[in-house]
Amino acid sequence: MSRYRGPRLRVVRRLGDLPGLTRKTPRRSYPPGQHGQGRRKRSEYAIRLEEKQKLRYNYGVSEKQLLRYVRKARRATGSTGQSLLQLLEMRLDNTVFRLGMAGTIPGARQLVNHGHVMVNGRVVNIASYQCRPGDVIGVKDTERSRRLVQQNMEYPGLANLPSHLEFDKNTFTGKVNSVVEREWVALQINELLVVEYYSRKA
């Protein structure tokens, strides 16, 4: 299953704030379920599993996809954890979300899948497309596409535009200037624990 279709706030209550999954905040601060309010000591495995699940639900990737990203990050130079976050952040659906063209990553994925987004003048409908420095991301030149993005921009998911992106609100055009830096990753996560979780699998 690549996309989670269940109650999003239930996931947020269990894992903490996931800015890519939903803009809403839960009314209850404790985890869901019968034992949600009970204080229990979590095992080392449970802590690492939770960090991994944060990545999965926030970026909307399947277990198989995430494992593929981990293997790719292992082959890259530098920190594996940082490379993993960069691969996920530079996905087209996440980039559209960070540009403010959609309120959530699932919303951005829908824009991409339905052919409303263009990269370097061509329609790209693959949400996992890896954006590279120099890519120009725009909206398809139809009234419906522009209206959809305009509506989304009234309620952006995140207030601040990351330093590696620039966006012109008049032309609905964004540009990727560089690879995202670690401090601009909006998700609160310890990526080293995710790498440790996959150390036996990847």
Which pLDDT score, from 0 to 100, does residue 111 have? 94
User: Is 8-87+186-200 assigned to CATH 1.10.1050.10?
Assistant: yes
For residues 64 and 69, give the distance between their C-alpha atoms in angstroms, rounded to a whole number.
9
Which percentage of the chain shows pLDDT scores above 90? 51
Split at pLDDT 50, 70, 90, the class of 118 is very high
- pTM here? 0.85
Q: Rounded to 5, what percent of the chain is helix, strand, coil?
A: 45, 10, 50
Of residues 24 and 143, more confidence is placed in 143
pLDDT at 202 over 70: no
| Token code pair at residue 197 | 């979780």
User: pLDDT exceeding 70 applies to what percent of the chain?
Assistant: 86
Using one digit for the tens of pLDDT, what is the confidence trace for 49-99?
Answer: 889 998 988 898 999 999 999 999 999 988 999 999 999 999 999 999 999
Residue 38: the pLDDT is: 58
Distances (CA, A) of 10 to 17, 27, 60, 141, 142: 11, 11, 15, 38, 37
What is the pLDDT averaged over residues 130-152? 93
The encoded tokens of residue 6 equal 């269940």
Mean per-residue pLDDT of the chain: 85
- Looking at per-residue pLDDT, the higher value among 26 and 111 belongs to 111
Please give the Cα distance from 70 to 87 (Å, whole number). 9
**With the C-alpha atoms ordered 21, 120, 129, 145, is the resulting torsion angle positive or negative?**
positive
Q: Is the pLDDT of residue 162 over 70?
A: yes
Q: What is the pLDDT of residue 178?
A: 93
Amino acid identity of 164? H
| Residues forming CATH 3.10.290.10 domain(s) in the chain | 91-178
Whether the per-residue pLDDT at 144 is higher than 80: the answer is yes
Topology adopted by domain 91-178:
3.10.290
Helix (H, G, I), strand (E, B) or coil at 118: strand
Q: What is the pLDDT of residues 6-60, one digit of tens each?
A: 777 677 777 777 776 776 665 656 565 545 555 667 788 888 988 999 898 889 8
Spatial strand order of the sheet with 122-123 comes to: 122-123, 117-119, 136-139, 173-176, 165-168
Q: Where are the alpha helices (DSSP H) in the chain?
A: 8-15, 44-59, 63-75, 80-89, 92-98, 105-113, 143-153, 191-197
List every span in the chain annotated with CATH 1.10.1050.10: 8-87+186-200
